[in-house]
Structure 1
Amino acid sequence: MFLKIVKNDFIRNKISTISVLLFITMAVILATSAVNNVTTLIQSMAKLEERAVPADIAQMHTGEFDQAEIDRFTLQYRDHIAMQETMILQNVDGSNIHFSQNQTLAGTIQDISFVVQNRKFDFILNLDNEKLDVKEGFVAVPIYFMEQHDLKIGDTITVKSGGYEKEFVISDYARDFEMNSSLTSSKRFVINHNDFHEMFVIGPGEMEYLIEFKLNKNGDADTVQTAYIEAGLPANGPSIRGKMFLLFNAMSDIAVAMVIILISILLLIIAFLCIRLTFLASIDEDLREIGVMKAMGISKEDIKKVYLNKYRAISLIAGIIGYLLSLATVNLLNGNIKLYISSDLSGSLNYLLSLIAPLLVYFIIVMYCKRVLKRIDKISAVEALRRDSIEHGKNGKHHFPLIKNKFFSINIYMGLVDVWKRFKLYRLLFVIFIVCTFIVILPVNIFNTMTSPEFSTYMGIGKQDMRIDLRRTDRITEDFIKLQQELENDNDIEKFATYVTSSYPVKNEEGSWNYMNIEIGDFSAFPLNYLEGRGPEREGEISLSFANAAKDGLNKQVGDEVTVRVGGREQSLTVTGIYQDITNGGKTAKANANLGVNEKAVLWYIVSMDMVDGVNIPAKMDYYQNAYSTAQVNDIKEYTQQTLGNIINQMGTVVIGGIAIAIIIAVLITALFLRMLLSKDISQIAIMRSVGLTLKQINHQYMAGTMMVLVVGIILGVVIANLLGEFLVSMAMSSMGAAKIEFVHIVWQTWLLCPLALITTVGWTIFMSCKVAVKDDLSVVLRS
């Protein structure tokens, strides 16, 4: 009997049943994909970490050092330290690495190093997550450069520097747990021991050292790092904790997963509204049948089961179909994981855990259906037989005389009046249009913000036309002085400012010392947007990044003091401002130039500049890149793209998916709503037709009302996406160093293109739904 009821109901309401089935299926697909994505990310990161055995503390160092001192320190803190390894990195400028048809890696913001595989831990892996074993004459290329320059296995790269020239064949792609992400500023090419020795002897690049510690299970990283600094051991470079490597690797996939989860939650909310509309339409259509069943003595629970069983079946079928389709859809979301973290995503656990999503959707829908069906309890047999439909709330007395209408045609005016009088009914559709607009606009705003030059302010960089980075080389100081002299005489440069970043010992909240990267220079030339306060303008002033000022950092506020050790003596600096920075683990600082450069721990020099109006910026960039081959010359947009390219690409996919999902939802819900509305108004429509109104005039009434709801919903949706979206994104980014994101709005996209796409598709749906629904035979309707 149950199957017969479901079958007959499906035959009678094919369109609405298929629409609800498709909608619930789509909700299940997204929810399942989100769960699968997060589960796969967690599993893959655990497997990669297990195979790569990354360091818990990694200290970069440039300059001479004594390995024996490191060994004695390791023995002294054996209770905390399980293993120690020092990796030698031969830094090679990108302009000295040639590939394809005389192309080079010049212009990359990444520091390029050639290394050999470690012996104890911090292993660099291939795409099968196996330790790389590179043969002589071959090289393993980081995945980052494989993607950036479409390098393929079997291609060759040539290293040319001074008297050294060597051609390497690409044998593998290097999956590097510590330096995979574009957010880390270094990349490691893996070569054979013999090739490395040959390169070391001839010396095409500067030596740098990665001093790494793997801690025991109960080892304390703070204790080891503090002791390391107080012992005066080599620390001419940044220091990174193991948890930061984990964050860098997962950041892009976490960002995508968070957006998908948000969309999934919105879809569940819309699912409730969708089912509500469908139930109301079905109950209105079957009102007399419900009255007959109640008059016959059938219990209200049995009557509700007739409707509930149908949606149980639909939810079950949608859950199965959605789960199966998600197995294909999830590949679109897991592409980045498959490339950067693990090529083998065949584990069964993520598929088992993904079953949580369809099961949860099923139970939520069933529980909501039971709540909506409580309306049947309020229907008496007598009233059901006398009335045509359920009264949805009490209608107040609204008077809208036609004589006062001076702006619209009669049909449009009547449609708008209908919305006002029955807004409680229309508000469901209104909320859906707001949510659909939110789903479209939020990813678009995130994407536009991340690709805008203004995003540099969240990377601790002022807005500028061009940026020149000088990294550690033998002639870095000489090049820096020469570059400043040339810029002063370049009439195409409107203004420029120089900045030097060094590593300084800074006293933390516990009174011990940590190393921190501090940039000194004139920060009034290219100012940042500060969350609080201002930049350092005078001697004795410093500004901190949001992550550095937070409780798990230095725990400072504007006006507090920070103790920095410079030249062997301590200086107290006043915190004048707090800014946002997602680079270098989010923990950076900026101080007035009077602080003085820590010459022994200089990390890099940066020159920021603005051009005179009309200057060809790309041509100027080419000139300085050729004049200073070891420099990295970029405009700020290219710098952002190289740093966040992976996240930007994935967010682009989310934008396309969000637009497609929102349009499908809006079309389905609009069709369902109009079906319910026109079914409810069948008698009223018949009366209008009997007094002489044409189908076209009736169409215009319903189209005018629904289009007004759509337009107002879109406007509010855009506003909410701009305001609430900034709040949600800021919450998500606060852990990464950016606590207050302000969207960059491209007006023609957010206020014209995206709304126009929704208006066009939904408008067509409104037109077609109204056109079909009012063509029933008038005599049949009046007789019923």
Structure 2
Amino acid sequence: MFFKIVKNDFLRNKIVTTAVFVFITMAVILAASAINNIANLIQSMSELQERAVPADITQMHSGEFDQDEIDQFTEKQRENIAMQETMVLLTFDGSNIHFGEDQTMAGTVQDISFVVQNKKFDFILNLDNEKLDVMEGEVAVPIYFMQQYDLKIGETITVKNGEYEKEFVISDYARDYEMNSSLTSSKRFVLNQADYDEMRKMQAGELEYLIEFKLNENGDSQAVQTAYIEAGLPANGPTVGGKIFLIFNAMSDAAVAMVIILISILLIIIASLCIRLTFLATIDEDLREIGVMKAIGISKKDIKKVYLNKYRIMSVIAGIIGYLLSFAVVNLFNGNMRLYISSDLSGNLKYVLSLIAPLMIYFMIVMYCKKVLKRIDKISAVEALRSNIMERGKNRKYSFPLLKNKFFSTNIYMGLRDVWKRFKLYRLLFFIFIVCTFIVILPINIYNTMNSPEFSTYMGIGKSDMRIDLRKTDTITEDFKKLQEELKNDSDVEKYAAYITSSYQVKNAEGSWDYINIELGDFSVFPLKYLEGRAPQAEGEISLSYANASKDALNKKVGDEVVVKAGGKEKTLKVTGIYQDITNGGKTAKAHTSLGINKEAVLWYIVSMDVAPGVDTQEKMNYYQTAYDSAQVNDIKEYTQQTLGNIIDQMSTIVIGGIAIAVIIIVLITALFLRMLLSKDMSQIAIMRSMGLTSKKISHQYMAGTLMILVLGIIFGVLASNYLGEFLVSMAMSSMGAAKIELVNVVWQTWLLCPLALIIAVGFTISVSCKVAVEDDISVVLRS
């Protein structure tokens, strides 16, 4: 009998039942996809790490060094070090790499190096996560460049530098654990040993070295780094720990997973509210039937089971379908993971973990249904047969009389008045509109922030029109001086500032020595936004990045002192400010020029500039790129997009998905809410129609009230995405070195385009829903 009742209920409410079913399925799909994405990320990172065997400590170095000293140090540190290997890199400027029809890689922000496969560890893999084995005359291209320049296997690249010129066939793509991410500023092309030896013999590229250490299982990384510094071993370049590479590899996919999880949580909350709306409408419609069932002796438990079984069956079927579809949907989000981390995402872990979503949603819906169904306990058979007791309560004082209306038409006024008098009923819809707006606006704001020139301030560089990076060459010092002289006399340049970054030793919180990258220059020309304090302006002053100042690093606050070793002497510097920086693991610093350049450990030279009003920035960039072959000239927006390319691409997918999900949610919820509302107001609607009001005018009343709730929901939703969204994003980014993100709010998008799209979707839904309900036969309604 109960099965027949459930079946009949399905048939009686086909549209609503289908809508709720789709909604639950969508909640399961998103939740399972998010869990699936995380499971894939964990599994893929583990597999990539196992196959690539990355270094635990990587010391980048340029200049001469003695490998015997490194070997002796390794032997002394055998309790910590398992293996040591030095990779020799032949570094080229992007303009030396030619492909296609007269195209080059000039303008890339990445350092390009050619290497051969390592023998012990830090292996560069192919897309099947197998060690690359490159034949003579061939080259394996980093995935980053394959994407950026659309390079395909079988095509050729030509390396030209001085007298050296050779064409290589692209045989594979290189999956590089240490240098995969766009946040890592170097990329490695893999050659055959014979081609590499020829290239090195002809001195085609600048020599740089990666001095790498693989630690024992219980090896102390900090002890090795400290001993390395104290031994005075080569360190003309940054030191990078293995954890940084792990963070860089996982960051873009982890960011996507977090956004999906956030949307999934909001979706599950909305699913609960959706069930509540449906229950209220159904119970209200079936009030007399409930009274009859009670009158003939059916127990409360059995009556509840009638309604509960429907949602149990629906949740099970939706859970199974959502679970299965999630494995297809997740491919929309993990394309970056499949390319950069693992092409084979098979394994049982994701299937088991993804089951959490449908099971969790099933139990949540059943428990919530039981809670809502407690209302049936309050319904007595006599009252149910006599009247609609769901409306019972205290009589409210008559307010907002129609005679006092001076601004709106009668129908609009009645709609707004209804919202005020029954706001408790509308507040559910109000909350859902806020959440839907949040789901749309937050991803858009994040996307706009990452695409904004202002995002450069989170990368430790001030906002400017152009940025020139000078590559390490024999003439780099002379080029740097020449460039500054030319800029000084260039009337097209409004202002410029030159910066030199060197590696220094700094005393850490434990009293031992670490390396720190310190930038020297005039930081007042292109100022940063400081979390605390200000930029260094006088002798003996330094500012630290948020990651460097944290308790896990130097543990310093504004006003504290930092001891830096420069020119063989220890100098005590006062911390004047703390800024945000997500580059180089977030650990950087800026100091007054009085500290002095560490000439033996200069890492890079940078010049930032603003062009004068009316000057074509692109033309000026082309001029300096031509004038200085070894330079890398970019505008700040291009620099940011190249550095954050993967994350920006992933976020664009989230933006589209968020808009689609929000529109579906808002249409479904509005339809369900109006079904409940119109069901409750059936007698009132019939009376209004019998008095001569047309269906169109009655529809306008409901449209006015619902749209007012939508407008209020949009306002609160936008404000929530701006303030609460900033808090959530800052919390997520704090581990990367940015503790206070200010989201970019594009006014025409957040206050015009998105609200207009939501208003159109809701307006259409109201129009269709009201047309169906309001035009029912009033004689049938009045007789009932």
Give TM-score scaled by structure 1 length. 0.99
In structure 2, the residue matched to 1:547 is: 547
In structure 1, the residue matched to 2:455 is: 455
Q: What are the equivalent positions in structure 2 for 1:331-730 lying under 5 Å apart?
A: 331-388=331-388, 390-391=390-391, 394=394, 396-730=396-730
Deviates most, 376-385 or 95-104: 376-385
In structure 1, the residue matched to 2:218 is: 218
The DSSP-based 3-state class of the residue aligned with 2:481 is: helix
1:277 and 2:277 matched: yes
1:774 and 2:784 matched: no
Q: How many residues align?
A: 784
1:141 and 2:130 matched: no
Distance 2:645 2:692 in 1: 63
Distance 1:464 1:555 in 2: 31
Letter of the aligned partner of 1:184 in structure 2?
T
8 Å Cα contact 1:531-1:578 kept in structure 2: yes
1:195 and 2:216 matched: no
CA distance 1:392–1:475, change in 2 (3 Å): farther
In structure 2, the residue matched to 1:116 is: 116
1:122-152 CA distances to partner (integer Å, 9 max, x unpaired)?
A: 0000000000011111000000000000000
Distance 1:735 1:27 in 2: 29
Give the CA deviation at 1:253: 0.3
Distance 2:687 2:433 in 1: 31
8 Å Cα contact 1:395-1:421 kept in structure 2: no
Distance 1:439 1:336 in 2: 22
Distance 1:468 1:393 in 2: 72
Letter of the aligned partner of 1:757 in structure 2?
A
8 Å Cα contact 1:471-1:603 kept in structure 2: no
8 Å Cα contact 1:24-1:318 kept in structure 2: yes
Give the CA deviation at 1:394: 4.5
Letter of the aligned partner of 1:768 in structure 2?
V
Give the CA deviation at 1:395: 5.6
Give the CA deviation at 1:227: 0.6
8 Å Cα contact 2:93-2:471 kept in structure 1: no
8 Å Cα contact 1:503-1:602 kept in structure 2: yes
Distance 1:198 1:290 in 2: 89
Deviates most, 471-480 or 104-113: 471-480
Give the CA deviation at 1:12: 0.6
The DSSP-based 3-state class of the residue aligned with 2:644 is: helix
Distance 1:356 1:163 in 2: 62
CA distance 1:216–1:173, change in 2 (3 Å): same
8 Å Cα contact 1:516-1:587 kept in structure 2: yes
Structure 1: unaligned runs, 5 residues or longer: none
1:488-534 CA distances to partner (integer Å, 9 max, x unpaired)?
A: 11100000000000000000000000101100000000000000000
1:93 and 2:93 matched: yes
Give the CA deviation at 1:556: 0.3
8 Å Cα contact 2:581-2:738 kept in structure 1: yes
Give the CA deviation at 1:5: 1.9
The DSSP-based 3-state class of the residue aligned with 2:106 is: coil
The DSSP-based 3-state class of the residue aligned with 2:514 is: strand
Q: What are the equivalent positions in structure 2 for 1:304-319 lying under 5 Å apart?
A: 304-319=304-319
Distance 2:774 2:767 in 1: 11
8 Å Cα contact 2:383-2:389 kept in structure 1: no
Please give the root-mean-square deviation of Cα atoms over the aligned residues, in Å.
0.8
Give the CA deviation at 1:387: 1.3
Distance 1:722 1:582 in 2: 22
In structure 1, the residue matched to 2:330 is: 330
Letter of the aligned partner of 1:116 in structure 2?
V
Distance 1:420 1:141 in 2: 64
Distance 2:60 2:677 in 1: 68
The DSSP-based 3-state class of the residue aligned with 2:391 is: coil
Letter of the aligned partner of 1:416 in structure 2?
L
1:596-618 CA distances to partner (integer Å, 9 max, x unpaired)?
A: 10000000000000010110000
Give the CA deviation at 1:393: 5.6
1:715-760 CA distances to partner (integer Å, 9 max, x unpaired)?
A: 1111111110000000000000000000111100011001111001
Letter of the aligned partner of 1:132 in structure 2?
L
Letter of the aligned partner of 1:268 in structure 2?
I
Distance 2:389 2:674 in 1: 15
Deviates most, 10-19 or 380-389: 380-389
In structure 1, the residue matched to 2:205 is: 205
Distance 2:741 2:352 in 1: 37
Give the CA deviation at 1:205: 1.4
Give the CA deviation at 1:378: 1.1
1:68-88 CA distances to partner (integer Å, 9 max, x unpaired)?
A: 111111110100000000000
Letter of the aligned partner of 1:256 in structure 2?
V
Letter of the aligned partner of 1:113 in structure 2?
S
Distance 1:477 1:760 in 2: 61
Deviates most, 322-331 or 461-470: 322-331
Distance 1:398 1:567 in 2: 84
Give the CA deviation at 1:386: 1.3
Distance 2:778 2:160 in 1: 87
Letter of the aligned partner of 2:631 in structure 1?
A
The DSSP-based 3-state class of the residue aligned with 1:610 is: strand
Letter of the aligned partner of 2:465 in structure 1?
D
Distance 2:379 2:231 in 1: 82
Segments ≥4 residues shifted beyond 6 Å: none
1:53-103 CA distances to partner (integer Å, 9 max, x unpaired)?
A: 000000000111111111111110100000000000010111111000111
Q: What are the equivalent positions in structure 2 for 1:198-277 lying under 5 Å apart?
A: 198-277=198-277
Letter of the aligned partner of 2:21 in structure 1?
L
Distance 2:636 2:129 in 1: 35
Distance 1:68 1:279 in 2: 78
Distance 1:6 1:552 in 2: 59
In structure 2, the residue matched to 1:164 is: 164
Give the CA deviation at 1:388: 2.7
Give TM-score scaled by structure 2 length. 0.99
Give the CA deviation at 1:154: 0.6
Distance 1:392 1:738 in 2: 54
Letter of the aligned partner of 2:455 in structure 1?
F
Give the CA deviation at 1:687: 1.1
Letter of the aligned partner of 1:773 in structure 2?
A
In structure 1, the residue matched to 2:56 is: 56
8 Å Cα contact 2:379-2:389 kept in structure 1: no
CA distance 1:392–1:271, change in 2 (3 Å): farther
Give the CA deviation at 1:444: 0.3
Letter of the aligned partner of 1:683 in structure 2?
S
Distance 2:365 2:472 in 1: 61
Distance 1:134 1:102 in 2: 25
Distance 1:508 1:69 in 2: 25
Letter of the aligned partner of 1:776 in structure 2?
D
The DSSP-based 3-state class of the residue aligned with 2:131 is: coil
The DSSP-based 3-state class of the residue aligned with 1:63 is: coil
1:289-317 CA distances to partner (integer Å, 9 max, x unpaired)?
A: 11111112211111100000000011111
The DSSP-based 3-state class of the residue aligned with 1:43 is: helix
Give the CA deviation at 1:471: 2.3
Distance 2:300 2:617 in 1: 76
CA distance 1:279–1:393, change in 2 (3 Å): farther
Distance 1:135 1:398 in 2: 88
1:754 and 2:754 matched: yes
Identical residues among aligned pairs (%): 78
Give the CA deviation at 1:423: 0.4
Letter of the aligned partner of 2:556 in structure 1?
K
Letter of the aligned partner of 1:357 in structure 2?
A
Distance 1:628 1:619 in 2: 14
Give the CA deviation at 1:6: 1.9
Distance 2:226 2:550 in 1: 19
8 Å Cα contact 1:395-1:422 kept in structure 2: no
